[in-house]
Chains A and B, each alone.
Chain A
Amino acid sequence: MIDEQIYRRFNHTIAACFVIYFLFPSEILNLQRSYYIVLFWILVISVEMARLTKGIKILGMRDYEKDRIASFVWFASGSCLLLGIYEMGIFPQSLVIATIIMAAYTDPVIGEANKRWGDKNGIICGLVCSFAIYQFIIGVFIYSIIGSIVAVISERPKIKWFDDDLAMQIIPITSLVILNWLNLLPDLVKDGVIIGGGI
């Protein structure tokens, strides 16, 4: 049997590749690229509906996910929401890129660290991981500090109807954008634009 734990972790980290969206051309097959976010989300929801209604077994699902929305749906919904709000011109690009990659990596890092070294060290590892990712992409210390702390706090509550995969994306980026609007945070480098245009 495939090690399902590692399989789940890899499925989680691979979700960082959602940021490839920013390399897409503005139009694909005469359709604005933002429409593909909706199409992708509908595809994910369709798979999930088929899984829940027809009882299709997918490798890597946890037992408690048998009759509730799976974590991949929460993560995909969060990423699609971030990309959609970016297209509306509300979320800056650098924050969206950093947050998607951060959420894809930090949750599994916290999970592994919790398992091996306990809860306290799990929090420390999560903070280090999320801080490093924010700093590596955004490069503004205060954003990295606040983003990482909010991300790790968002991961803690275990709520059935609001998964941490969604919370770890929505809450940190919303907090950072609101603080920026209130002029409590400095402006982002190049107004948060990292990738000028698609391929």
Chain B
Amino acid sequence: MSITKLYILALYLVAIICSTLFIVEEHYNIAILLILGNALPGYKLAESLMRKNED
């Protein structure tokens, strides 16, 4: 696995862990913002990675 893919994986983990911690601590407004703000670019990036793998 290339360094870039590992780095991207780490980014996804950071987003998931941070959002989860804010939910656990009942700071739902911050958690929602973290999830909503990262969902679309995260999804698009995953899509672009999948497309690359299909090619």
Interface residues of A (CB under 8 A from B): 1-3, 6-7, 9-14, 16-17, 19-20, 23, 59, 97, 101, 104-105, 108, 133, 136-137, 194-195, 199
Contact = CB atoms under 8 A, between A and B. Distances in A.
Given A14-B11, A17-B18, A195-B27, A6 B41 contact: yes
Contact of B45 (A7, A20, A23, A133): A7
Contacts, number: 75
Contacts of B49: 2
Main secondary structure of the interface of A (DSSP, over half): helix
Nearest to A129: B37
Main secondary structure of the interface of B (DSSP, over half): helix
Q: Sort chain B's interface into a size bin.
A: 20 to 34
Contacts of A199: 21, 25
A2 B49 CA distance: 6
Contacts of B30: 19, 97, 101, 137, 194
Contact of A20 (B8, B11, B21, B48): B21
B32 to A, nearest CB: 8
A59 B18 CA distance: 24
Given A11-B11, A17-B14, A23-B22, A59 B4 contact: yes
